[in-house]
Structure 1
Amino acid sequence: MIHQFKQNGVNVVLDVYSGAVHTVDDVVYDVVSEIDRVGWEVAKKDSFACLSSLDNTYSRQDIQEAMDDVTELVEEGMLFSSDPYVDMAPAIGNKETVVKALCLHVAHDCNLKCRYCFAEEGEYHGKRALMSAEVGRQALEFLVANSGKRRNLEVDFFGGEPLMNWDVVRELVAYGRELEQSHHKKFRFTLTTNGILLNDEIMDYLNANMDNVVLSIDGRQEVHDRMRPTPNGKGSYDLILDKFKRMAELRGQTRYYVRGTFTRENLDFAKDVLHLADEGFQQISIEPVVAGDKETYALREEDLPKLEEQYELLAREMLAREARGDGFTFFHFMMDLSQGPCIVKRLSGCGSGCEYLAVHPSGDLYPCHQFVGQEEFRMGSVLEGVTRRDLLDRFKGVNVYSKPGCQDCWAKFYCSGGCAANAWQFAHDLHGNYELSCHLERKRLECALMMQCYRA
């Protein structure tokens, strides 16, 4: 399987199964396209017959030289390669897994009233609640007990707004450090915050104790204030911007992200990314909203051309800024072509429901933060452990080969089949796909590949 596209004056050919990326001239690009149409086995037997449609565009010598280049790449396993992973999927689903990460919902409460919040202002289909220190300690003990021989463990403090339960966050970090010593583990703590409660003392603590901090801001003030108001209806942009700037500087412009959401009300979201860059942030993520069709701000299929244009515009501008020496990182354009994730990660994704679990303030376990509060997905608790082995097995069995919609998709080893929660919400099937998200993911990957080719 191959994927070809042209963007920003670059002709790109991706060999899906080897992962090889080729920047080629027009003749090679068109020759590869014709070979892909008829099949390599047919083309190599009588190349000129199958490439005759190109005779009016290129000379026979140019076509032959391009064919020679393609043949060399095929023989090296870098073009039209076969699938080496298809037999691995069942083994991945059957292997014993260990828990490596928890999302601790320390606060099912929030001090903002974001219009697009999937967590219902932090309530998650239930009532407002704060996690007790006792439940939090039990969660960390559960993680240690179920992590097997894995040494490095991850814990994300999440909400709602986790700073509304700040004393418990600090107590759990301290307890985690005790467990590190007694069990030979290493915790990587992260925290996601809307910034309202940040102050100098909290920022200094986060800088010293959190491996990563996610700072929620949507971009331009008018966009942010429209979607992320306070309970009294006023905007929150002015309450957080300077705090976030200081947080980014305290961390040396690393180990953080300013993370926003774009909706149908700001389809020109590239302006929001660039606004954050102009404000001095160097680690930026702006995500498409996930919402049902009934919501006026939900993205629709007819928005895709505009969104594709925005991603391409952003990619070009990022390259221009890099050339001037004032570049920044955009999360969805990050790509490591030399190594990247291991094959298990490529096939099965984030590990939700098996390697990664979310903890309700009560201690109940769910496959991830987006399933929290959905009783049919309650997997057990931090005290009793995982009691729904059927759910565990269902999530373990989800991979790119179990999803019909992924079989012919060139991007499957980059997105790993997409988000399980989104698949359930929009297809009501863990093995389904959220097609709009798939479309945007493919466009982001094309932009990232183009940028890598420019940098090479």
Structure 2
Amino acid sequence: MLALPIKTLLGHYIYDANRNEILAVSKDLFNYISEVQAGEVCPDSYKSDQEFQLLQSCGYCCDSPLQDVAYPSIDLLKVKLERNLRMITLQLTQSCNFRCDYCIYSENSLYNRTHSHNSMSVSTAKHAIEFFKMHSIDNPNPVVAFYGGEPLLRFSEIKQITQYAEQVFEGKHISFRITTNCSLLSEDMVKFFFDSGHEFYLLISLDGPQQIHDKSRHYANGESSYQAVIDNVHMILDNHPERNK
């Protein structure tokens, strides 16, 4: 029985996974399902209950009819992993000049790493690029993504890795992605990304107007980050209006 008991201040419920629905139930049925899930009672011990029978007659609280669950391309997975990887993401640094309240890498995180000064060496990045090359033989359009922390803290390394990747993937259409808070963007960076023959795409984190953005996205010292980000966005668009799209 694929049913998850859920208790709130308003009552007792179950989530029926087969039907993808939430139902209000009695406290007794809630307790029974909780005990079944915990392995404390036999699943058949409650089948004579009228509420349970009614739910089952309506198609709820039933065993799953599925015998097997498989991704449509599961049989091709080994080949895809060996020959057709689409993208590799390089975490260049765990350092960041922001301290966004909702960041999964914040010091308040219980389950993930926190911000640190750990960084990926260029040598490690090159080995990763070589691995990507070996496992993307059938991919004509490889993508290398830079991530952090804030990857623009490692702009010098980005340049080296970009040039190396273009050499390794010579003859293929290679492009690059960067996820950035945009606060550190400079004119030299813009020239490298958009005027030097490389194909770069920037994913810029911006929450909205200043009063919304600054609620959560701020520098490590707590100061507002909005104006620096929006000024750099305009710098891109002023120099490259085609990026408006």
Partner of 1:139: 128
The question of 1:125 aligning with 2:127 is answered no
The 2-side partners of 1:142 and 1:227 are apart by 37
Contact conserved, 2:174 with 2:199, CA < 8 A, in 1?
no
The 1-side partners of 2:191 and 2:138 are apart by 33
Match of 1:235 among 209, 212, 224: 224
SS of 2:176 mapped into structure 1: strand
Contact conserved, 1:191 with 1:214, CA < 8 A, in 2?
yes
Match of 1:115 among 101, 106, 109: 101
The question of 1:218 aligning with 2:207 is answered yes
The letter for the 1-side match of 2:148 is: G
- Using a 3 Å threshold, how does the CA distance of structure 1 residues 128 and 174 change in structure 2: closer, same or farther? same
SS of 1:186 mapped into structure 2: coil
The 1-side partners of 2:219 and 2:138 are apart by 45
The question of 1:162 aligning with 2:151 is answered yes
Moved over 3 A (4+): none
**How many residues end up aligned between the 2 structures?**
167
Unaligned regions of 5+ residues in structure 1, if any?
1-88, 255-281, 284-456
| Superposition RMSD in Å | 2.4
TM-score by length of 1: 0.34
Partner of 1:251: 240
The 1-side partners of 2:148 and 2:71 are apart by 35
Q: Which digits, 9 at most, give the CA deviation of each residue in 1:36-83, with x for residues without a partner? A: xxxxxxxxxxxxxxxxxxxxxxxxxxxxxxxxxxxxxxxxxxxxxxxx
1:141 deviates by 0.5
The 1-side partners of 2:214 and 2:121 are apart by 32
Match of 1:187 among 158, 163, 174: 174
Match of 1:99 among 85, 103, 107: 85
TM-score by length of 2: 0.62
1:197 deviates by 1.2
1:90 deviates by 5.5
Partner of 2:21: none
Contact conserved, 2:133 with 2:169, CA < 8 A, in 1?
no
Contact conserved, 1:106 with 1:165, CA < 8 A, in 2?
yes
The 2-side partners of 1:186 and 1:230 are apart by 37
The 2-side partners of 1:233 and 1:90 are apart by 45
Partner of 1:205: 192
The 1-side partners of 2:231 and 2:71 are apart by 50
1:91 deviates by 5.1
The letter for the 1-side match of 2:153 is: M
SS of 1:129 mapped into structure 2: coil
Unaligned regions of 5+ residues in structure 2, if any?
1-69
Contact conserved, 2:214 with 2:226, CA < 8 A, in 1?
yes
Q: Which digits, 9 at most, give the CA deviation of each residue in 1:110-169, with x for residues without a partner? A: 000000112327x95154311110011111111000112222101111111001111110
Identical counterparts, % of pairs: 25
The 2-side partners of 1:216 and 1:91 are apart by 34
Contact conserved, 1:104 with 1:155, CA < 8 A, in 2?
yes
Q: Which structure dedicates a bigger proportion of its chain to helix? A: 1
Contact conserved, 1:191 with 1:210, CA < 8 A, in 2?
no
Q: Which digits, 9 at most, give the CA deviation of each residue in 1:333-371, with x for residues without a partner? A: xxxxxxxxxxxxxxxxxxxxxxxxxxxxxxxxxxxxxxx
Q: Which digits, 9 at most, give the CA deviation of each residue in 1:393-428, with x for residues without a partner? A: xxxxxxxxxxxxxxxxxxxxxxxxxxxxxxxxxxxx
Contact conserved, 2:93 with 2:151, CA < 8 A, in 1?
yes
The letter for the 2-side match of 1:109 is: S
- Using a 3 Å threshold, how does the CA distance of structure 1 residues 180 and 225 change in structure 2: closer, same or farther? same
- Using a 3 Å threshold, how does the CA distance of structure 1 residues 111 and 145 change in structure 2: closer, same or farther? same
